[in-house]
Structure 1
Amino acid sequence: MSDSRKGRRPLVADKRYAAQPKKARKTKAKPKAKPKPRKTARRKAPTRRRGGIIGLIQRLFAWLLRLIWRVVWRVGAVACLMLGLIVGYYYTTLPDVTELLDGRARGSVTLLDDSGQVFAWRGDQFGGAITADTVSPHLRNAIIATEDKRFYRHFGLSPRGIASAVRINLSEGRGPLSGHGGSTITQQVAKLLCLGVPYDPTVQTEAEYETECRRGTIKRKASEAVYALAMEAKYSKDEILTIYMNRAFLGAGARGFEAASQRYFGKSAANVTPAESAMLAGLLVAPTRFAPTNDLTRSQNRAATIVRLMNEQGYLSDAEARSAQNNPAELSEAAEARAGGYFADWVMSSGPEFFTRKTTEDVIIKTTLDQRIQRAADEAMQWVFENKIRDGSKAQAAIVVMSADGAVRAMVGGRKTKVAGAFNRAVQAKRQTGSAFKPFVYAAALDLGYSPNDTVTDEPLTINIPGSGPWSPRNYTNRFYGKVSLTRALADSLNIPAVKVSEFVGRDLVRQVASDFGLESDLAAGPALALGASESTLIEMTGAYAGILNGGSSVEPYGLVELRLMGEDEPLMGTGGGIGERVVQEPAARQLIYMMEKVVSEGTGARAQFGGRQLAGKTGTTQAARDAWFVGFSADYVAGVWMGYDDNTPLTGVTGAGLPADIWRETMSRVHEGVPLKPLPMMSPSQAGEVRDPSGGQQGGGGGAVGILEGLLRDILGGGTDSGRERQPNVSGSDR
């Protein structure tokens, strides 16, 4: 095979280069790859700008976008800087957590009964500091589930919650910021702290301060948001929750969940059940509306909703949720009493203002209240009005029960017994006393040495009153009974003998005796004084009768036994009442008790009898039966009952011997359950005598013109004269 290379002539081009080494020629040379053309930067062809109006608009729009972007990021940077400075400022002003737990503007008053048990609260109650770690986990979870389920995940603000609130508000036809607020717990704490502005009573009232703190303007909302960011930077989540749980208002004067738990359930917030926790958490949305003391059913329904939320968010198992739903929370006994009713109101009004109504301290007051006796009075009032008063009647009644030394054991100021802050007819209503005043007339006579067996003539009587003319009192029966003993005159509530005795011993002396026994109201100046023309309160009348029972010494009714600051053992003040100076001699008081016992055993007060006990008292009915009274006592307790209308409408078919005596009997029979029988400290008369007849033939008169003018003179003299002998009404005792 011939070598083709041998015969090939070299290319002319080969001769240009030197011969290559043999080594290089051993391998066949690979054809060289064509060099890649070097990339050169291609110039972008200039974009043609659209001409005309459209092009102008496009260029203007692009320029505006660039301008806005430059402005926005600069403004945003400045805003972030300012926000950081404001947050930093608030951060520096925030105190330690412990200083923010008690946010009350005023103190609290805890009222104890005579055995030392809490029966009422007043003011802003703070049960003590609690933390997110010390409260019941159920309560902590109920708060989170109700108020802010993303509390532990957000930075103090919840954009999702705000957007949701705005959407709901708009869908319900309100403004975007009206109604649901979408506030986090942190923002609510900012509001509770009023952005760090403390309350100053010298600048504004507490109500004005609260209104300022709760303003819902956009500016205020923005400030709360910034303050919330500062708190998130300063405090931990648990610390923020702790502030919230201690400062939240939860109705009935309770500040914080510890106070609310004590007030409603009588236990610490560390021990509340899921059902109780749900009820407490449900108060946050509307404390007054959902307070269980106002409407327990409504509060339980709200709690059921909270339980469902806790179950949905995994805080309660299905079994726990069913148990809480089937066993709703119930109020403690003290909470059911609705903060102590009329008695607590009276103690608060009678104590020093700076330690009661306007206290800035936490005060504990021990009182004379006997809760067993209070229940007896409440039940008696309800029983009589349910069984003996017609439906729809607007008649009112009041009851006071006290010991012989003036210690008030129970008080009912109206038909609605479990109320607070209501008009208290036992203390605030001044009403004419009628024949209930007559014991003080006879007390004056007995103190002068006269006997219950002394006699006075019951006969027509006319007294000339300067400036008014002749006045002729009359008895209920329009009959005259001749010579009667003082005992019978009081037992049958005869008017003419009472007026004669009063005129004989002197009106000034009668007025002085009544005033010394505690009837502080202005007493009538005319002869109608003897028939109860003067006005008095029920508590004054009951206190005056207590003076008769204790042997003739005056009594100042009292309810406060001891006042001290919480946490201190030494009292700041003690009893503000009790037995005072002697008014009549003890024998006179004992003989008067004998006469008053005959009122119940033989006279107008017969309906007050019960249980075979010795009882004493006096009925009273004023002009046109506008007021009806029964005041009396056993050896152990004194009780007074008033009945009438608030607008002075006359009672129909009611006298002191009727419904008031019924209420008195129902009250005292319950009060004396289990109390041993004890005789009254009375003294029977030892000798007979005769009271000189004050008429002397000069003031007496009757028949003819006197008889015709008798009714006219009674009207001219006005109310306050008793209608005469008081009898049980012909009707069954119902107010018609």
Structure 2
Amino acid sequence: MQDPFYHKEKRRKKARMLDADAWLDSALFEFWNSIGRGYQRIEDFFHGFRLRGVKRLIVEVISDGASFTAIGAVLMLALALPAFQATASGRVNNANEISVIFLDRYGTEIGRRGIRSDDSYPLDKLPDYFVKATLATEDRRFYDHFGVDVVGTLRALVNNYAGDNGTQGGSSITQQLAKNLFLSNERTWERKIKEAFLAVWLEWHYSKDEILKLYFDRAYMGGGNFGAAAAAEYYFGKKITDVNLAEAAMLAGLFKAPTNYAPTVDLAAARGRANLVLSNLVDAGFMTEGQVAAARRNPATPIDHASTVNSPDYFLDYAFQELQPLIAGTRSSSFTVRTTIDPVLQSYAEDAITSVLREQGEQYDVSQGAMVVTEPNGAIRAMVGGTDYGKSQFNRATSSLRQPGSSFKPFVYAEAIETMGLKPTSVVSGATRCIGDWCPRNYSGNSVGNISLINAFAQSINTVPVNLSIQTGRQPIADLAHKMGVKTDFEVTRSLALGAASLTVLDMVNGYTVFANDGLVTPSYGITRITTARGDVVWEPDLTTPHERVLSEQTVAYMNQMMRAVVTSGTGRRAGIEGVPAVGKTGTTSDYRDAWFAGFTGNYVAAVWLGNDDYHKTKNLTGGLLPTVAWQKFMAYAHTNIEVKPVFGVDFEPKPFVVAEAEGDAAANQVERPPTLKPEAAIKLLDLADALEATLKSVGSGSQVAALAVTAAPAPAGL
């Protein structure tokens, strides 16, 4: 029997649960009723604002319009975001991105590199008929639209649908500029959308005239030319300010498809396009039919680029690379560069290499050669990087790494003389000394005993420089070579004394220039001045920096005497020139893959390399054969009709004016090198020409120009 107290407590809990359930039901009921009453009151409140008829229609339209506007704004923002990112990055398309005109040492153009562009002409200086021809053909409503020509775009769509290419494009000039500045040439809807937004951005930030000027400067016009000014110079050999109506029409016709309408590609198509541009001028009301009639009868004719003089292309490639760090940070994209190249010496160097290979290359199974010529002050006067630039643009003078063989020995002997106090008459050991398992051999195969330093050098004995390198250490020899101007890094091996290092022809010239310049380092250089297309000077060399001395004058004198012995009685006798103190050193690798001669006179330093691009062996070609012949041939040419300078330390009396010898009919047909000015006189004339040109640009009236010309006419005294 259960406890009565237990039953009583159970009934009490059940009553409390029933009370809680009743309270919850009542609360929910009251809550939903209150919501209903609140909604009814709100409905009653807004019922007073209910519209009917026209008023309701207007409100619905506004409401839906606001909704669609919000949706459209989000969509437009999504589409515009990529275009805004392009402008926010600050990057624009560069046409690779500079244009360079190269001049020789006398100021004559010798070639160009990079793209051709010219932004030096303001809009108001361009011919009015050229500007109108462009607007009539590309964008007649340019000054009326907001960046996107809606009417022109619709017309282009209709014409395209009808299969008519039309005479005008659908893109406005601002859109074309946006594409040139920020976008690629891919034909997609995404690019067209970006182009439209960027066009509007350009219109917000630039005036119409500024946009048109940028368009004329940045548009590609075929033949590697960017901008109308560069195209006028390239196609017609004229400044853009001097083109006639026919030429202006042809230029204006290039904007649509320069690769199709370039006069150098298809002259008939270019003239047909120019005639269409003339019709556009008339249709747009810019000119009358009578005004364009003469241009129709006398269409433009481009200049013949095939008749241009050959350029020193290998040198121009080298100079273009050297130019890059000198113009870093410069905002301009068009430059004029005056170089050190001498066109006469360049032609002599090219002839020396090609003629020797043509005459005897097959006999020795050698097909390629290179030569670099500088003055003792480092100015590069000639550079031959191969036999045919059209077939191979690889520059063997600056980029090909070949072993110099015995032509490296001057660095070994110079280090020995500097540190060991030797003289040319000093007697040294020529006995074979092995370094580990490597035992050097002489070219003849015979060993020698004691021998004078000068005889060992002249006869190119191998055991002597190896023995000297053991005494001085090989690393000091490598360090000296780098101090003297060898820029290429090479491995320091036990056979370094015999030239087992990979160097360039330019490296060898740099090193030998120290001997020619009394022991002072004079690095080679090919650029003397850089200016923008507007004439602003970007860079000039610092002529006040003193040259570092790396060899004593005594060492230089001894080395020059020893290198003179190479030419007079040693392995380089074929390099001798009557009346000229020629000195140098031959070099041959052990497997006959490379043959060298590097040397100098009081006037010029030159190094010659002959070999094969695929490294196959020649037929026993040594440095004392064809390289010395080519070197001698060039130097004989180069020293005609000039003052022959002495070589420091060499007891030699140069003849004042040397004429290169020739035999038979060659003597009668030889063209004598014209007399040249002294360097000081040439520099004065060049400075005078620069000053005259700068002054003429700043002079306004013709009378002032005439007066200035009369004033500048007398030559400076002493020239």
Normalised to the residue count of structure 1, the TM-score between the two structures is: 0.61
Aligned twin of 2:405: 434
Aligned match for 2:119, one of 102, 127, 132: 127
Aligned match for 1:444, one of 415, 419, 424: 415
Instruction: Tell me, in whole angstroms, the C-alpha distance in 2 between the residues paired with 1:166 and 1:385.
Output: 63
Equivalent residues in 2 for 1:315-326, closer than 5 Å: none
User: Cα deviation per residue 1:19-49 (whole Å; 9 max; x = unaligned)?
Assistant: xxxxxxxxxxxxxxxxxxxxxxxxxxxxxxx
Aligned match for 1:303, one of 257, 267, 285: 267
Instruction: Tell me, in whole angstroms, the C-alpha distance in 1 between the residues paired with 2:260 and 2:424.
Output: 61
Aligned twin of 2:375: 403
SS in 1 for 2:127: coil
Check whether the contact 2:314–2:389 (CA below 8 A) recurs between aligned residues: no
Please say if 1:544 is aligned against 2:511: yes
Instruction: Tell me, in whole angstroms, the C-alpha distance in 2 between the residues paired with 1:596 and 1:260.
Output: 53
Q: Note the C-alpha offset of 1:445.
A: 3.5
Check whether the contact 1:616–1:632 (CA below 8 A) recurs between aligned residues: yes
Aligned twin of 1:656: 623
Aligned match for 1:354, one of 296, 310, 329: 329
Counterpart code for 2:586:
T
Counterpart code for 2:396:
R
SS in 2 for 1:502: helix
Instruction: Tell me, in whole angstroms, the C-alpha distance in 1 between the residues paired with 2:193 and 2:494.
Output: 75
Aligned match for 2:231, one of 256, 260, 266: 260
Check whether the contact 1:454–1:485 (CA below 8 A) recurs between aligned residues: yes
Change (3 A) 1:600 1:323: farther
SS in 2 for 1:397: strand
Aligned match for 1:518, one of 485, 493, 496: 485
User: Cα deviation per residue 1:643-663 (whole Å; 9 max; x = unaligned)?
Assistant: 334453333443333343344
Q: Note the C-alpha offset of 1:158.
A: 7.2
Change (3 A) 1:149 1:318: farther
Equivalent residues in 2 for 1:496-645, closer than 5 Å: 496-522=463-489, 525-562=492-529, 574-575=541-542, 580-610=547-577, 612-645=579-612
Q: Note the C-alpha offset of 1:401.
A: 1.7
User: Cα deviation per residue 1:288-341 (whole Å; 9 max; x = unaligned)?
Assistant: x689xxxxxx9534234323444576787699867855x744479699667972
Q: Note the C-alpha offset of 1:629.
A: 2.1
Counterpart code for 1:260:
A
Instruction: Tell me, in whole angstroms, the C-alpha distance in 2 between the residues paired with 1:134 and 1:343.
Output: 35
Aligned twin of 2:396: 425
Counterpart code for 2:342:
D
User: Cα deviation per residue 1:188-245 (whole Å; 9 max; x = unaligned)?
Assistant: 55122239xxx6xxxxxxxxx442xx33124544776799899999999999876543
Check whether the contact 1:557–1:578 (CA below 8 A) recurs between aligned residues: no
Aligned twin of 1:96: none
Stretch deviating more after TM superposition (398-407 or 564-573): 564-573
Change (3 A) 1:299 1:677: farther
SS in 1 for 2:266: helix
Instruction: Tell me, in whole angstroms, the C-alpha distance in 2 between the residues paired with 1:379 and 1:373.
Output: 10
Aligned twin of 2:177: 192
Q: Note the C-alpha offset of 1:515.
A: 3.2
Q: Note the C-alpha offset of 1:624.
A: 1.5
Aligned twin of 2:446: 479
Q: Note the C-alpha offset of 1:474.
A: 1.4
Counterpart code for 2:455:
R
Q: Note the C-alpha offset of 1:632.
A: 1.4
Change (3 A) 1:219 1:531: closer
Aligned twin of 1:16: none
Check whether the contact 1:402–1:408 (CA below 8 A) recurs between aligned residues: yes
Q: Note the C-alpha offset of 1:184.
A: 1.9
Counterpart code for 1:411:
M
User: Cα deviation per residue 1:106-143 (whole Å; 9 max; x = unaligned)?
Assistant: 66656554445555454673332354873385x66986
Change (3 A) 1:485 1:118: same
Instruction: Tell me, in whole angstroms, the C-alpha distance in 1 between the residues paired with 2:542 and 2:260.
Output: 38
Instruction: Tell me, in whole angstroms, the C-alpha distance in 1 between the residues paired with 2:576 and 2:601.
Output: 11
Instruction: Tell me, in whole angstroms, the C-alpha distance in 2 between the residues paired with 1:345 and 1:233.
Output: 38
Change (3 A) 1:232 1:481: closer
SS in 2 for 1:640: strand
Aligned twin of 1:55: none
SS in 2 for 1:348: helix
SS in 1 for 2:628: helix
Counterpart code for 1:658:
L
Q: Note the C-alpha offset of 1:370.
A: 3.4
Equivalent residues in 2 for 1:207-218, closer than 5 Å: 209-211=182-184, 214-218=185-189
SS in 1 for 2:570: coil
Q: Note the C-alpha offset of 1:547.
A: 0.1
Instruction: Tell me, in whole angstroms, the C-alpha distance in 2 between the residues paired with 1:189 and 1:650.
Output: 61
Counterpart code for 2:568:
S
Change (3 A) 1:511 1:240: closer
Aligned twin of 1:488: 455
Change (3 A) 1:589 1:185: farther
Check whether the contact 1:125–1:254 (CA below 8 A) recurs between aligned residues: yes
Change (3 A) 1:636 1:339: closer
Instruction: Tell me, in whole angstroms, the C-alpha distance in 2 between the residues paired with 1:162 and 1:456.
Output: 91
Say which structure is richer in helix. 2
Q: Note the C-alpha offset of 1:434.
A: 0.9
SS in 1 for 2:547: strand
SS in 1 for 2:608: strand
SS in 2 for 1:513: helix
Change (3 A) 1:279 1:541: farther
Instruction: Tell me, in whole angstroms, the C-alpha distance in 2 between the residues paired with 1:384 and 1:181.
Output: 60
Aligned twin of 2:282: none
CA RMSD of aligned residues (A): 5.2
Counterpart code for 1:412:
V
Check whether the contact 2:249–2:275 (CA below 8 A) recurs between aligned residues: no
Query: Number of matched residues?
Result: 552
Q: Note the C-alpha offset of 1:608.
A: 3.3
Q: Note the C-alpha offset of 1:635.
A: 1.0
Identity among equivalent pairs (%): 32
Aligned match for 2:152, one of 150, 153, 157: 157
Change (3 A) 1:240 1:464: closer
Counterpart code for 2:267:
A
Q: Note the C-alpha offset of 1:408.
A: 2.4
Check whether the contact 1:562–1:575 (CA below 8 A) recurs between aligned residues: no
Instruction: Tell me, in whole angstroms, the C-alpha distance in 2 between the residues paired with 1:668 and 1:166.
Output: 71
Counterpart code for 1:497:
V
Please say if 1:683 is aligned against 2:650: yes
Instruction: Tell me, in whole angstroms, the C-alpha distance in 2 between the residues paired with 1:329 and 1:375.
Output: 23
Q: Note the C-alpha offset of 1:164.
A: 6.1
User: Cα deviation per residue 1:505-536 (whole Å; 9 max; x = unaligned)?
Assistant: 55454344323212344555454221011222
Q: Note the C-alpha offset of 1:437.
A: 0.6
Normalised to the residue count of structure 2, the TM-score between the two structures is: 0.62
Counterpart code for 1:500:
N
Change (3 A) 1:136 1:442: farther
